[in-house]
A and B are shown apart, each in its own frame.
Chain A
Amino acid sequence: MMSSSWTASKADTLPCDAPGLSGRPNSRVIFMHTAYRRPRPTRPILFLAPAIAVLAVFFLGPILVNTVIAFTDMGATLQIDGFSLGNFQRIVQRDMRLPGILLTTLVYVASTLLLFNVTLGASLAVATSAVPERLGNLFRGLWLLPRMSPAVLYGILWIWIVDPTGAGLLNQVTGALGLPQMNLRNDHPLMLIVVINGVVGASFAMIILTSAIRSIPAHLADAARVDGASEWSVLRHVTLPALWAPVRFITMYQVLSLLTTYEYILIITGGGPVYDSTPYALYIYRRAFENGAYGYGAALALGLMVIGVVITLLQWRLTNMRDTFAAPKIEVL
């Protein structure tokens, strides 16, 4: 209220021929004197309406539809003959593949996250921040290329890299070193999908952590050096502690991302051999779309939603995420 009164009074006192107001110095500028209005109560619903509409159409609607389908026997013809708990019974009691799929998912998510999305991402951030800025920017830009490329292109490149014949890039390297040819898609499919997703996933942490490193006031590192700290000590005691908060966010975000995405895996291994490289999200796809078992796929998808929510809540509690989103205690001007 203070500011609107101030604005009104200042506007009233502006000279009518003030340059810059109309773009023509000699033109006559007419000010409408606006009467003081009482502030109306805010209507948050109007401001939130677009976001609510998007949420309703693209998130809540599909969740609702998926939930309904999960209780049906919807098959290849999309026809529904009845509602039952049969799909959930099948998940809990009869699906002998699920324990293996869940183990694959655990190994895939944990390995990709710890080895690549956090460790490699942080290493890249530290390394590219330590080199001259232009070189660091170039390197980060190159590492981001796979993320900016279509998934199919990235997938085809990897298929060529790990081609089991002598034409594959990997086997050209092993051949030059006198090592036997490798067939990663067949012999180590889980390791392969971890590497493939990890290389792309590391770029996310690299960007965020680079930004976090740059936001550390330089005088902290300078003070440490003046006190005789080595570069390793500066990294360990100044830089790394400042990365803890973004790492917590990256972990939470990337866990959900890894749990729900499967496009590279589908393109490169198809989830095979058999189900050897099929994490839970791809399992849903294969059950629903390879066999037309849409009802069962929807029930599995509900399970994924529950898993995602439980893991997120656990992470929120265990890593004290509330602290991350708290208001800053010190205001930096």
Chain B
Amino acid sequence: MILLRSFCLTVSTIAMTAAAAHAEDITIKLWTLADRSAPARVTNIEAAADLMNHQFEAAGSDTRVVIDANASTVQGWDDLALDTLKAFAVGMGPDISVLPHEWIGQFADAGYAMNMDAEIAAKPWVYGDILPNLWEAAKGSDGSIYGVPQDAEIRMFFYNKDMLREIGKDEAFIDGLPAAVEAGDFTLDDLTALAKEVVDDGAAEYGMLHRPNVGIDYLMVFQSFGVEFMDPDTGKLQLPKQEMRDALAWYQNAADQGVTPRDNTQMSWDTIKSNFKQENAFLFHQGVWAVAWQAGDDIANSWPTDGDGYFDKIGWIPAPAAHKGGAPVNLSHPLLYTVNPESDHAELAAELVALATLPYFNNQHAVSSYHTAISHAQEAMPAYRDNWALSAASKLMDRAKFVPNHTEFGSYNRILFNGLQAVETGAMTADEAIEFIADEIDLQMGDDVIIVDSLEG
């Protein structure tokens, strides 16, 4: 009898709680990639919801916004974008998604990302101060804006100055390296030769390491060799075979010379980071947010955490020019908050995104995860200004390039990565790899990609 009574009481309580929850709570689903060094992509939206809930409470409303965050553990942003597309296709798309900017065209064309033009015009108190070039990264193929910059960053080559000292380079050479790169006097081939010298002299096991999976960093090298991924006249993706072959040949040469390990693309992220942090690798190309683990304690071997100490040990350079006198390249890869236009709470979701984009909130993300500012106001805020890494990185943003916002760029980049892996592992030469890439692109994308012999002439 007691058991029966307890059971009835429990069921009634759950039913009453459920009914109450149904009456008051509005659940907003947020999807992003799991990233332990950048939790604020979620917590900023949660903080915005808290702010909103306080306002509801003050106004006597019993409405409450609840954030249901899903931090996916798929391998990378491209996989997350594909998963999100599938979810939208079966009517299960989240209210807010965090997406890499090059996917915005795909989401906009499919009707899965809200046109934000009106929102941006209506909310100058938050959107009026966003860095103008970031809006370019959020535009769909029709020129409208479909996402709000969630963060920005800058990609570069990190190099270990202590190793240069170890092989006998003087301070003038070490300090003058960034300027030589900027002037186009120090080329990508010079960088390979320098890395080989470091390896040959025993200062490092690896001359250069890069990401093991599909991403953006290595595209800097392709752009240095003159690859333009999109034809400005037609808006189509393009494959300039000569320029791309040259870039692949550079990676092939680095592997042949023993500068890059042949299995770089099969290493885990942890192995790659550990090798750079534990000073087994001279060069590493990634983005400014890598300073979080470089200056942090999560990988053994402590590095200086102050700006002077850090820059005495580690230097930053853009991807050097491919040829003497050419221009170096930096890439930025902003992430975007997008709002599901079909959501029952699309307006509310857009409001949350606007609040989370305010300098105060975005700065929490920028400073804690080492991402660059998305607004001018942030750059002036003490917490940002006093962050030596971000201040230095912001200076590189002016000439930052982006990858194209094309619906097929994700697939294009994956094929490119396969070609890079092929030359690096020795499975193909650069000549074979470019034919492989052209063939794969033709097979998968057909007429959507223009294949040309060269962009010159």
Give chain B residues whose Cβ lies under 8 Å from the Cβ of A97: 440
Contact A94 B443 (CB under 8 A): yes
Give chain B residues whose Cβ lies under 8 Å from the Cβ of A274: 418, 421-422, 425, 427-428, 436
Contact A90 B263 (CB under 8 A): no
Chain B 401-429, CB-CB to A under 8 Å as 1, else 0, gives 00000000001001000100110010110
Given A186-B266, A274-B421: A79 in contact with B411 (beta carbons within 8 A): no
Once bound together, how far apart are the Cα atoms of A290 and B90, in whole Å?
A: 19
Once bound together, how far apart are the Cα atoms of A76 and B86, in whole Å?
A: 7
Contact A289 B418 (CB under 8 A): no
Give chain B residues whose Cβ lies under 8 Å from the Cβ of A185: 263, 266
Contact A90 B443 (CB under 8 A): yes
Q: How many residues of B contact A (CB 8 A)?
A: 29
Contact A186 B263 (CB under 8 A): yes
CB within 8 A of B110: which of A79, A164, A276, A290? A79
Given A273-B425, A274-B422, A291-B444: A78 in contact with B86 (beta carbons within 8 A): yes
Contact A76 B82 (CB under 8 A): yes
Contact of A77 with B by CB under 8 A = yes
Contact B266 A273 (CB under 8 A): yes
Contact of B106 with A by CB under 8 A = yes
The B interface, classified by DSSP as helix, strand, loop or mixed, is helix
Q: Count how many pairs of residues, one from A and one from B, have CB atoms less than 8 Å apart in the complex.
A: 65
Chain B 423-457, CB-CB to A under 8 Å as 1, else 0, gives 00101100000001001101110000000000000
Closest residue of A by beta carbon distance from B107? A77
Q: How many residues of A contact B (CB 8 A)?
A: 26
Contact A291 B266 (CB under 8 A): no
Contact B110 A77 (CB under 8 A): yes
Given A96-B443, A291-B411: A272 in contact with B85 (beta carbons within 8 A): no
- Least CB distance from A88 to B in Å reads 14
Chain A 153-179, CB-CB to B under 8 Å as 1, else 0, gives 000000000001100000000000000
- Least CB distance from A66 to B in Å reads 16
Contact of A119 with B by CB under 8 A = no
Contact B262 A186 (CB under 8 A): yes
Contact B265 A272 (CB under 8 A): yes
Contact of B122 with A by CB under 8 A = no
Contact of A303 with B by CB under 8 A = no
- Least CB distance from B375 to A in Å reads 32
Most chain B beta carbons < 10 A, residue from A90, A165, A270, A291: A291
Once bound together, how far apart are the Cα atoms of A94 and B421, in whole Å?
A: 23
Give chain B residues whose Cβ lies under 8 Å from the Cβ of A79: 89, 110
- B residues 69-114 near A (Cβ < 8 Å) are 82, 85-86, 88-90, 106, 110, 112
Closest residue of B by beta carbon distance from A165? B271
Chain A 272-315, CB-CB to B under 8 Å as 1, else 0, gives 11111000000000000111110000000000000000000000
Give chain A residues whose Cβ lies under 8 Å from the Cβ of B263: 164, 183, 185-186
Once bound together, how far apart are the Cα atoms of A2 and B85, in whole Å?
A: 65
Contact of A95 with B by CB under 8 A = yes
Contact A272 B266 (CB under 8 A): yes
Most chain B beta carbons < 10 A, residue from A269, A273, A290: A273
Once bound together, how far apart are the Cα atoms of A164 and B425, in whole Å?
A: 13
Contact B89 A78 (CB under 8 A): yes
Closest residue of A by beta carbon distance from B442? A94
Give chain A residues whose Cβ lies under 8 Å from the Cβ of B418: 274-275
Most chain B beta carbons < 10 A, residue from A76, A90, A276, A290: A76
Chain B 271-301, CB-CB to A under 8 Å as 1, else 0, gives 1000000000000000000000000000000
Interfacial residues, chain A to chain B (CB-CB below 8 A):
76-79, 90, 94-97, 164-165, 183, 185-186, 269-270, 272-276, 289-293
Q: What would 9 more interface pairs be, CB under 8 Å, given A90-B443, A272-B265, A274-B421?
A: A76-B82, A77-B106, A96-B439, A165-B271, A270-B266, A273-B422, A274-B425, A274-B427, A291-B444
Interfacial residues, chain B to chain A (CB-CB below 8 A):
82, 85-86, 88-90, 106, 110, 112, 261-263, 265-266, 271, 411, 414, 418, 421-422, 425, 427-428, 436, 439-440, 442-444
- What are 5 A-B pairs at a CB distance below 8 A? A77-B88, A95-B443, A186-B263, A186-B266, A270-B266
